[in-house]
Structure 1
Amino acid sequence: MAGKKGKVTGKGGNGGNKAELVQDERLQAIVLTDSFETRFMPLTAVKPRCLLPLANVPLIEYTLEFLAKAGASEVYLMCASHADQISEYIENSRWNMPWSPFRVSTIMSLESRSVGDAMRDVDNRGIITGDFILVSGDLVTNMEFDKALEFHRKKKAEDKDHIVTMCLSKASQFFRSRCHEPAVFLLDQSNDKCLYYQDIPLENSNQKTSISVDPELLEDVDEFTVRNDLVDCHVDICSPHVPAIFQENFDYQFLRRDFVKGVLTSDLLKKSIYAFITEDYAARVESWQTYDAISQDFIARWCYPLVLNSNLLEDQTYSYESEHIYKEKGVVLAQSCKIGKRTVIGSGSKIGEGTIIENSVIGRNCQIGENIIIKNSFIWDNAIIGSQTAIEHSIVASNVKIGSKVVLHDGCVIGFNVVLDDNMVVPVGTRLSEACVERQPSQFLDSEPYGFDDTVDRAAKSTNALPARELVGEKGVGYVYESDDSDYEDVSSVLDKVTNALAYRFDDLYLSDNSISSISAKLKKKRRSSTTSAYTDREEDDDDEDEEEDFDAEAIATVERAMENNHDLDTALLELNTLRMSINVTYHEVRSATVVALLRRTYHFITTQTLGPKEAVQKVFGQWGLLFKRQAFDQEEFIDLANLILEKAVVQAFEKPEFIIFTALSCLYDHDILDEDVIYTWWDQTSQDSSHAEAKTLTGKWVEWLRTADEESTSEEEESDVTDSE
């Protein structure tokens, strides 16, 4: 890994003045075409998010247009889900023509399951030769990139440890395209150096909305500012060290909550990250709500000079009319139809008599019947809609056929090729797909509740389910798709209302720009496990709940933070012990929280395919199992530890919990944390209990093998003693 890093650096800067000149002249870009999420299911089971249309233009076009204006000379598209569709689209696009402003290459990164995997693939391929732009394939912006690049180069000249410039856009409290996953950026007020990053939980998540900052991070900082009013559109200017850091830290999966937070809190990397704050329009289509909001913003020309009538695609012929109405050539409108404000209609579409369309996007070659009402909705190409149908705040994908007198209520998503019979009523928030898409538990659910995977293999099509006849009718075609998170009560109440809904519901969001109060004002109120904390103003309104400390959550977070930032054991033990004494709990609670944190980390490695089950357990318990030496002090407490590993591993829902339990116990045995007497006594007790019988099968065989080996060893020692005496 060190050689890999040296290789990258050598290409970028060790080749003399000539190499440095080449690096400065050539600007590369990495585009992550996969979102690694399921938020746009079931649509993304058929087509990748970057090819979904926004105002009748594929999302990838907005990103590539931005890179063209930014002066990129080489663009690499990292493709995972539906990579063949993306490659085919690029091959047939204007970006593959000889007169394209940059050279574009599609890289099949089919094994990638996260941003971290994609960046490690970039590092393995050795394609980065200097500073590069890292963006996602769902970006819409009119940002003047020259200013950001100048800022980056200036900071790089001033700070030799500078590796990333994050481009952030300032937004008002209720800015429509503002990210529904708010975050805190702690910045040095003098130079906009990022000191700390942390996600803010949504208001309805029942998580404590506080940030804990290591005071060492604030050393030598005169003044700092806490910002949660920024839109993070994930436009980053990176040095060639970035892919190498992902390579060296294989547990980094997410760009912000893993990489940025890890770099800022690492005692070993000593690297700097700066924030360039712009007032230009910049947002990502990362959810149903942002799709809706950005579409409206784009139609209303908030992204000028990037506007629809600039005709981003070569065959587009949009003209602009008053009240933000856009029409292509070849549109046929009946005399009595009414086209309201903020409406887009693609070529070849026909609108029938008495139909009303307002604040909506109609794709190409759509057949819209008579006396239809379409408001705040998105109708994609080749859709057919029967007469007297009402559609409110919904998405109708390409090639959908909707009969007469159908009602689509708020938030409906009708997938590709779905057919709805006459007189159907589709309830609020329903999502339909042509084929049944099986629900799959999120691979990051425990550790990162907002990180999901929408690759095809995780959205397998089922042949056993029956069509939703009560919604699509006897002649209809369609299956109901439910959110992957509906089985998980702890997050579904938030995700179902916010992430998986089309319409914004501001009462479900918490985006107050005053939500982070000053650190000094709150320090006197309550002491946490961390020396410095900042609390939201909502906590003042509920003092009773504040008094009820949730030790489990605090302790688990402490251990997870120690593992994430690779703290030393003494620091983690000190924080846990301080927390234990401040809340006055027993060592049983400490052991329980530590076991849960270690199993979650193991689960994360396994489900992200970072490590195999055996390697994951050995890595986590081999390094962090030493915490138990200061949490258990006699045989009874070590037996309690073994019981906790058994119980918590079953609850964690591993695919093969019996293997995880056996490997964890044997690892602790190998590291002299559990001895034979403890294991034998514990097994004699637990083997009599019929609960979790399947999960104890491998452990039983292991204990039997241990006893046999112990007896043989004892027998050999006795024989040796007899021989010596003779």
Structure 2
Amino acid sequence: MAGKKIKAHPKEEMVQDDRLQAIVLTDSFETRFMPLSNDKPRCLLPLANVPLLEYTLEFLAKAPVKEVYLVCSAHATLISDYIEASKWSFPWSPFKVFTIMSPEARSVGDAMRDLDNKGVIAGDFVLMSGDAVTNLDFDKFWDFHKRMHAKDKDHIVTTCLSKATQFHRTRAFEPASFILDKSDNRCLYYQEIPLPSSRVKTSVEIDPDLLEGVDEFVLRNDLIDCRIDICSPLVPAIFQENFDYQMLRSDFIKGVLSSDLLRKHVYAYITEEYAARVESWQSYDSISQDFIGRWCYPLVLDSNLMPDQTYSYESNHIYKEQGVVLAQSCKIGKCTAIGSRTKIGESALVENCVIGRNCYIGSGAVIRDSHIWDNTVIGNNSVINHSIVASGTKLGTNVVLNDGCIIGFNVVIEDGKELPRGVRVNGTPVKDSEDNAFGLSDEEDEEETPEKDNPEIAFELCGTKGRGYIYEDPLSEDEHDLPIGEEMVSGLSHRLDEVYLSDSSISSVTKSKKKRTMSTNSAYTDREEDPTEFEDEEDFGVEGVATVKRAIENNHDLDTALLELNTLRMSLNVSYHEVRTVTVVALLDRVYHFIATQTLGPKDAANKVFTRWGPMFRREAFDPDEYVDLMNIVMEQVVEQELEKGDLILFSAFNALYDSDILEEEIIYDWWSHVSKDPKFDDIKKLVAKWIEWLKEADEESSGEEEEEEESEEEEEN
């Protein structure tokens, strides 16, 4: 069980057998989850009120795994104690769990070399991190691995990649491009690409020798790498022979694929099932929303993964445990989970949140898009927006947490305090020596930062009777040295342009220098001109979509939404074409949300959204040409966003606008005369063509009936 001593086996006795093992890396070897990971291991932090490690172990429980080895560096004792007290230590557990202490490990490479030294690997093994959330069918993954292994004697790794649209929330974190052999998905080349927020153009350069013997290859940057691999016993040995291999992808995978000496092969298993890693605060937030939205079905919160959980599911993705106490006048919005023994006061609003156990939320408090962990007190009339509040924290009355705040364990904040956007506060001071990954020895660090030895409580933020220490990420001290986009990943708050990754951003660079303007959902442009030329359009594209989405999510009235959008338009001096574009993008995003969360089908979702919010276009288009432009925008965005059943969504959107008297028949016919012969949209306009044919037939019948009525009236008069 946990903490059991591992006996080393001589390497010459390591023979492949049928006993499938799993290696779980419990440490990310990064500081992205600081300051919370200073007090608690990252793999035990709660996601939707369930420790992250539980999701990984639940996945392995559905696989033919017999032994699970948890490789621990930081907080190893806490992890061992957790396993000892969990259901995984029971005799009827589907596998045996062992903890391997690797306190000296500072990277995945170090951990793999330590495994090789201990000789615990006996055959093929699953390698994954302790922060994966997936409903992957392991049997299909395992069968694919065995088929490739039987076909190719040089096959050493099968990696799982999940296909996602460009608007999938978790796709924008640590993006990469894969070049695959189209015939069997053998990975020919791997390259990390910049985050969309960096605005850096990139291209993929590959040695032509790597494509030798390949008839056809594909370049994919639409895949989420969930870091779930099935490896052969050779993998730890390769790490042992190459001490410069530290990272699993950028070093090991890229090195193996590019090596003339190793000549080993990596295959990609591509699935459309949900699979993602909690690799940053932003992905934590996104995956939590996905999980609450039941994207991971049948892995859902009301399946009660923990033995003592009692969640039940209600409409609008609301989950409650037994013992929750709600005041009669409080309001619980969509996509919210509330743990047992939590009390919510009069007139409080909680929406799109996860609330832990034993929490108290005072009267008039407003909490949106946030994560409140166990044993937390939120005072009356406090406002929390898109933040994380860890266990044991106490917020006074009228406290305001702005977008992206991360409040650590046992923080106390006095009444009336407002914390600025993105601030991180912890209940105890955090030293910079967690893994000393920044190139300084302990002595050098002490000499250069002596003032950090005795940090003072942040009285300005927490109050004179409060308790909290500001945490500043060491990576942020010199923004010029940050990895591309790292400043975005290490925080919680984000903007839409940092989340959406264009599928064409790679291929357009590598194939040609085609000039095009930036669309609202593209990461960056391929234009050679000065990018500042389009700053206003880019800013409006991002802020405009966010404005409309906020109006939809908060169910504002149309006048309020249009006033905010028009104010933004005038401040940035953009055209009404741009206004119509951001409105369409936001409405289609809402349609996609309903479909992805299985709330509505494509037809009903498009009809609901465009019927409710379509009237906005009456004050965004003012003549027939502008309404034709609106129809073009809707069609182009449905195609660009690669929505499933796009033809049905396009038809339903147009029909809703027609039924609402926003689109007139003459405008529809004029638009159709321009696009009906354009082959570019053939796949998307099939249903629309039938709809327009029906409209024309209805017009003819109506005209015929009117003529008959006129004739009969004339006869009566005569």
Does TM, normalized by the shorter one, top 0.5?
Answer: yes
| TM-score (structure 1 length as normaliser) | 0.67
1:11 aligns with 2:40: no
Provide Cα deviations, 1:25-66, integer angstroms capped at 9, x if missing partner: x21000000011111110001111100000100000000000
Output aligned runs, 1:341-490, within 5 Å: 341-439=334-432, 462-490=452-480
Q: Which residue of 1 aligns with 2:587?
A: none
CA distance in 1: counterparts of 2:485 and 2:12, whole angstroms: 42
1:68 aligns with 2:54: no
One-letter amino acid matched to 1:541: R
Query: Helix, strand or coil for the counterpart of 2:260?
Result: coil
Q: CA deviation at 1:503?
A: 3.0
Provide Cα deviations, 1:357-401, integer angstroms capped at 9, x if missing partner: 111011000111111101110100000111110111000000001
Output aligned runs, 1:506-517, within 5 Å: 506-509=496-499, 511-517=501-507
Provide Cα deviations, 1:47-91, integer angstroms capped at 9, x if missing partner: 111000001000000000000011211000000111111000000
Question: Which residue among 519, 538, 541 is the counterpart of 2:527?
Answer: 541
CA distance in 2: counterparts of 1:183 and 1:360, whole angstroms: 30
On the 8 A contact 2:23/2:69 being kept in 1, the answer is: yes
Q: Which residue of 2 aligns with 1:246?
A: 239
Provide Cα deviations, 1:110-133, integer angstroms capped at 9, x if missing partner: 111000011111111111100000
Q: CA deviation at 1:501?
A: 2.4
Question: Which residue among 32, 36, 39 is the counterpart of 1:46?
Answer: 39
Q: CA deviation at 1:487?
A: 2.1
Q: Which residue of 1 aligns with 2:266?
A: 273
Q: Structure 1 residues 445, 192: CA separation in 2 closer, same or farther (over 3 Å shift)?
A: farther
CA distance in 1: counterparts of 2:336 and 2:342, whole angstroms: 13
Q: Which residue of 1 aligns with 2:693?
A: none
CA distance in 2: counterparts of 1:201 and 1:98, whole angstroms: 47
Provide Cα deviations, 1:220-250, integer angstroms capped at 9, x if missing partner: 0110000010000000000000000001101
Provide Cα deviations, 1:545-574, integer angstroms capped at 9, x if missing partner: 9xxxxxxxxxxxxxxxxxxxxxxxxxxxxx
Q: Which residue of 2 aligns with 1:159?
A: 152
Q: CA deviation at 1:504?
A: 3.3
Provide Cα deviations, 1:560-590, integer angstroms capped at 9, x if missing partner: xxxxxxxxxxxxxxxxxxxxxxxxxxxxxxx
Q: Structure 1 residues 339, 203: CA separation in 2 closer, same or farther (over 3 Å shift)?
A: closer
Q: CA deviation at 1:180?
A: 1.4
Name the % identity.
61
Q: Structure 1 residues 148, 170: CA separation in 2 closer, same or farther (over 3 Å shift)?
A: same
Q: Structure 1 residues 520, 408: CA separation in 2 closer, same or farther (over 3 Å shift)?
A: closer
Gaps of 5+ in 1: 14-22, 447-458, 526-535, 546-726
Q: Which residue of 1 aligns with 2:5?
A: none
On the 8 A contact 1:437/1:460 being kept in 2, the answer is: no
CA distance in 2: counterparts of 1:332 and 1:372, whole angstroms: 15
On the 8 A contact 2:35/2:425 being kept in 1, the answer is: yes
CA distance in 1: counterparts of 2:210 and 2:513, whole angstroms: 17
CA distance in 2: counterparts of 1:460 and 1:30, whole angstroms: 40
Output aligned runs, 1:522-533, within 5 Å: 522=512
On the 8 A contact 2:162/2:224 being kept in 1, the answer is: yes
CA distance in 1: counterparts of 2:434 and 2:201, whole angstroms: 25
Query: Helix, strand or coil for the counterpart of 2:219?
Result: strand
CA distance in 2: counterparts of 1:348 and 1:482, whole angstroms: 34
One-letter amino acid matched to 1:210: S
Q: Structure 1 residues 421, 495: CA separation in 2 closer, same or farther (over 3 Å shift)?
A: farther
RMSD of aligned Cα (Å): 2.6
Output aligned runs, 1:256-295, within 5 Å: 256-295=249-288
Query: Helix, strand or coil for the counterpart of 1:95?
Result: helix
1:297 aligns with 2:297: no
On the 8 A contact 2:71/2:99 being kept in 1, the answer is: yes
Question: Which residue among 273, 283, 308 is the counterpart of 1:315?
Answer: 308
On the 8 A contact 1:439/1:482 being kept in 2, the answer is: no
On the 8 A contact 1:8/1:128 being kept in 2, the answer is: no
On the 8 A contact 1:202/1:510 being kept in 2, the answer is: no
CA distance in 1: counterparts of 2:241 and 2:474, whole angstroms: 32
Q: Structure 1 residues 227, 443: CA separation in 2 closer, same or farther (over 3 Å shift)?
A: farther
Q: CA deviation at 1:12?
A: 2.2
Q: CA deviation at 1:343?
A: 0.7
One-letter amino acid matched to 1:402: L
Q: Structure 1 residues 495, 538: CA separation in 2 closer, same or farther (over 3 Å shift)?
A: closer
On the 8 A contact 2:201/2:524 being kept in 1, the answer is: no
Q: Structure 1 residues 130, 460: CA separation in 2 closer, same or farther (over 3 Å shift)?
A: farther
Quick check: 173-182 or 51-60, which moved more? 173-182
Gaps of 5+ in 2: 1-7, 440-448, 516-521, 532-718
On the 8 A contact 1:198/1:211 being kept in 2, the answer is: yes
Q: Structure 1 residues 156, 383: CA separation in 2 closer, same or farther (over 3 Å shift)?
A: same
Output aligned runs, 1:607-626, within 5 Å: none
CA distance in 2: counterparts of 1:190 and 1:460, whole angstroms: 59
CA distance in 2: counterparts of 1:423 and 1:520, whole angstroms: 54
Q: Give aligned pairs, total.
A: 509
Query: Helix, strand or coil for the counterpart of 1:374?
Result: strand
Q: Which residue of 2 aligns with 1:169?
A: 162
On the 8 A contact 1:435/1:462 being kept in 2, the answer is: no
Query: Helix, strand or coil for the counterpart of 1:323?
Result: helix
